[in-house]
Chains A and B, each alone.
Chain A
């Protein structure tokens, strides 16, 4: 079956622009996670959804970042007024549920470059 997919795979934008990053989780997975990975670092948690609601958004760096999952499946991470420091690979993962210990399946990521 299909894994987690993310689009676009690469996004280049200019400072100050708005971007949307999309994640399609594995069908039937109720939990969806967003992480951000800078060069040479491990992924850092941003936000996770259980169903349609954001259950924990404590990792979002500031109010320029927002994510939605309106129908409990596809999620969109939105970044307003992008800054050069937002450049990173944005990873999405899904799991059967948000119970601790469930394996998270990762997508290939979206590489965001802010010029």
Chain B
């Protein structure tokens, strides 16, 4: 079963605009990660934010985490056509620190950046 919801399911923007994707989850977590997937195949890890962090940056990516609302957002600034892909958030369950790291994914946001 999926951990939670991602919003929007699809997003279409022009190059240069910012893209914001949101993720909500159900259970307490250790970490939340964002992945990117092109053409329905392998996933690429983008960024990890720990449960005691509120914001993290990596290049044009900014991730926020609100554990009280069980939600996260991914902001891509100055988007490029090459950013077109599906984006997924993934969480692990806070059962114990060494629970095996299995990830529970959201349903994803399909981002289309038009040149």
Which residues of chain A have a CB within 8 Å of any CB of chain B?
4, 31, 33, 35, 37, 39-45, 48, 50, 55-56, 59, 89, 91, 93, 95, 98-109
Contacts and interface: CB of A to CB of B under 8 A. Distances in A.
A55 B90 CA distance: 20
Most buried by A among B48, B98, B100, B105: B100
Contact of A99 (B44, B88, B101, B107): B101
B40 interface: yes
Contacts of B42: 4, 91, 106-109
Contacts of A104: 45, 101, 103
B50 A56 contact: no
A98 B98 CA distance: 7
A41 B100 CA distance: 23
Contacts of B41: 89, 108-109
B87 to A, nearest CB: 10
Interface in B61-115: 88, 90, 92, 97-108
A45 B45 contact: no
A70 B101 CA distance: 21
